[in-house]
Amino acid sequence: MLSKNKNNKITVVAKHMPGDYDIEYASPWAGANSLIYRRDGDLVGGYFPDGLFEKDPWFKEVLPKYRELDSSEVLPGHDSGAEVDSICINTAIYLPWLLGQCLKAGVVVKRHILTHISEAKALSHTGKAADIIVNATGLGSLKLGGVEDKNMAPIRGQIVVVRNECTPMVSTSGTNDGPTELLYIMQRAGGGGTILGGTYDKGNWESQPDPNIAQRIMTRAVAARPGLTDNKGVEGLSIVRHGVGLRPFREGGVRIEEEKLADGTCVVHNYGHSGWGYQGSYGCAEAVVELVEEIQRQHKAKL
């Protein structure tokens, strides 16, 4: 959004880019949310807090065709549910498209590893020091010098990507396999396969898929949707890959605010989106644009 203003000269500095697969880079592993199933016990002090499962959700007035499910439509073992038209993003297509839009708008992109937020000031492609730094480093803000936000923590998510197709999408509020294990099934458009999930394991940094967890993920998926494999069970799944990503959780919620470095450089922070980065991306970007434009107005007023 900042690139829409041609007066802005923007350099994106990133350790990871679309096309990369790394435990630190959660975006390619993410799904999107759809049939919603709830268990009453999960909604009271549950380990996995998510407004998706509220019985009177805010989005029922926003998303089309919201309706509560009849008891006969609810997945066995669950107490209630809802159906809603939603959006599922094929991140393998969407991320390169976003990068392409940036390049088209004149944004210059660099691969670089920062150890301190102040280093970004010298990385502008203009050859001049950057006037404003936007910090969108996600979980990296935990260890990035000059930020080191101790409210940040990883929430490990493990998934299985399969070729099998399943519609509509499914998401449940919990499972019987422990508080960190979930059930969701999300088919991606454009040949992106189907995401079987998953886990929500706060504080776990493990980068390698756990085969036992993977087995439970697949077992839950085919039990909920036998048609996923034409009633052939787990053996009927055609696996593309196993994946693990770390959601950038922040205690207290997302951080979108201005801060000044010791040398007076303005930093606009935008991180801590946990598992809703795609859903909130445009709204958060608009908030960043507002902060940047206000900084620019104040700067001009001093001239």
Q: Do 191 and 157 contact (CB within 8 A), yes or no?
A: no
Q: What angle do CA 109, 115, 121 make, to 5 degrees?
A: 55
Q: How far are the Cα atoms of 13, 46, 80, 153 from residue 252, in angstroms, in the given order?
A: 27, 17, 29, 12
- Please tell me whether 81 is known to bind a ligand: no
Cα distance between residue 57 and residue 63, in whole Å: 11
Q: Which helix (H) or strand (E) holds 44?
A: none
- Please tell me whether 193 is known to bind a ligand: no
Radius of gyration of the chain (CA): 21
Cα distance between residue 115 and residue 122, in whole Å: 13
- Please tell me whether 47 is known to bind a ligand: no
- Please tell me whether 167 is known to bind a ligand: no
Cα distance between residue 11 and residue 107, in whole Å: 6
As annotated, the binding site includes 137, 184, 247, 275
As annotated, the binding site for FAD includes 137
As annotated, the binding site for D-dopa includes 184, 247, 275
